[in-house]
A = this chain, B = another copy of it.
Amino acid sequence: MSNERVINFGAGPSALPTDVLEEATKGLLNFQGTGIGIAEISHRSKEFTAFLNDAESHIRTLLEVPPTHKILFTQGGGSGQFSSVVLNLLARHRLLHPELKDEERVMDYVVTGSWSKKAMEEARRLGRGRVNIAADARKYSKDGKAFDNIPAHDEYAFSADPALIYYCENETVDGVQFSDDLGSPAAFPFHKLQQGGLLPLVADYSSSFMSRPIPRLADHAVIFAGAQKNLGPAGLTILIVRQDCIVDVDAAAKLGAVPVPIMLSYKTLADSKSLYNTPSVLPIYIAGLVLQKMSAGGGLQVYAQSNRQKFEKVIAALKKGEEKGVFKGKVKEGSVSWMNIVFDVPGEGRLQGFLDGAAERKMKGLAGHRSVGGVRVSLYNAINQQDTDRLVEYMNEYAATVV
């Protein structure tokens, strides 16, 4: 069966390692010799709680998460966290500064693509506070409208003592990513943030989580990620939360904060070790198997190196195609995501032709997001060098035949 599988360059849900899926087929019928499948076993059984602790400890080791931060598992995806970060961090701010008026509670949003824009809109809709756009990448785009760049460091205007500072590390739709090289002009401008104290810095890492180390992880208040890119099936959301951000939301509500639904409170998740109610056991299982494979395979640096190589290969093919006028990259050099490379295939019917040719060669999931069109190549961890080579070969072949 597995040799009939195609290469899936989809942006999420996305490819998972075939050997992990094969292992999971066994667990589905009989988890660790219990005689009960993983989807059927009690989330409070000693077998499952040990598995959950193990998954957590792999994340802690792979990402070098310090003891100041808890690792929590929840449901609801990135969009769920758009609400949760606002509710929990405004509650924290209210407890720290009960005297402030609502309009004095500022939430700084760095808007570099569709997802950070959506998160910002949720803050406006939900939060009892004021949104400050610390930077909007569209201002610096070619046409004033596209999300095609990471703004220059001079362009960020952060507030003093905000309730939260929000950015999306990798924009899956637009193919824009902050650099992990802190010396790069496309790195997140950590040096411009207020120095000293505990920053309320929030990062959406959904589509790059576990693809490479997280720069300045310890300085973050909350890092969140849906699992369905590099890690596992949809239905699992992973949080890394600094302990001062796990606050008594009920006490904050008494002071005027928006009441927080019980499952959205970080305190609920932390106090129950992510088992307040039944978690998404099956997605956790597959993500756990992927984490075991990552640790056994040499850790995060091995993946980071491989991901860089894959990125460079595709970029080289894209550039070659651009020189011939066959492809047209959408994102400014230096801001291009390792995970999602987006480009156009200009010319009547050419995009469809490119996608059809890929499908004939058993490569799928290459259509861009419906809001922007074009091609999107997602190079998550489960895409290996051979898969990448197959695509690069096809890109080169396509560029050669079109002209």
**Which of A's residues lie within 8 Å of B, judged by CB?**
1-2, 4-6, 8, 10-16, 18, 21-22, 24-26, 28-30, 33-37, 39-44, 75-80, 82-84, 87, 122, 125-126, 226, 228, 232-236, 250, 258-264, 276-283, 286, 362, 364-365, 370
Contacts and interface: CB of A to CB of B under 8 A. Distances in A.
Contact of A262 (B5, B83, B277): B83
10 contacts: A5-B29, A10-B42, A16-B39, A16-B40, A21-B29, A25-B25, A87-B261, A233-B280, A258-B259, A283-B283
A16 B37 CA distance: 8
CB-based closest 5 A-B pairs: A235-B280, A83-B261, A6-B35, A25-B25, A39-B233
A6 B35 CA distance: 5
B29 A25 contact: yes
A8 B77 contact: no
Given A28-B28, A39-B286, A258-B259, 17 more contacts: A8-B36, A10-B36, A10-B41, A10-B42, A13-B278, A13-B281, A15-B36, A21-B29, A25-B25, A36-B364, A43-B234, A75-B80, A76-B80, A79-B263, A80-B277, A234-B278, A280-B283
Contacts of A5: 29-30, 35-37
A84 B33 CA distance: 38
Contacts of A24: 28
Contact of A13 (B13, B25, B42, B75): B42
A233 B35 CA distance: 16
Nearest to A8: B36
Question: Of residues A13, A125, A281, which shows the largest number of chain B Cβ atoms within 10 Å of its Cβ?
Answer: A13
A282 B40 contact: no
Given A84-B261, A125-B259, A261-B83, A8 B280 contact: no
Contacts of A6: 34-36
B25 A39 contact: no
A1 B226 CA distance: 32
B13 A22 contact: no
B13 A40 contact: yes
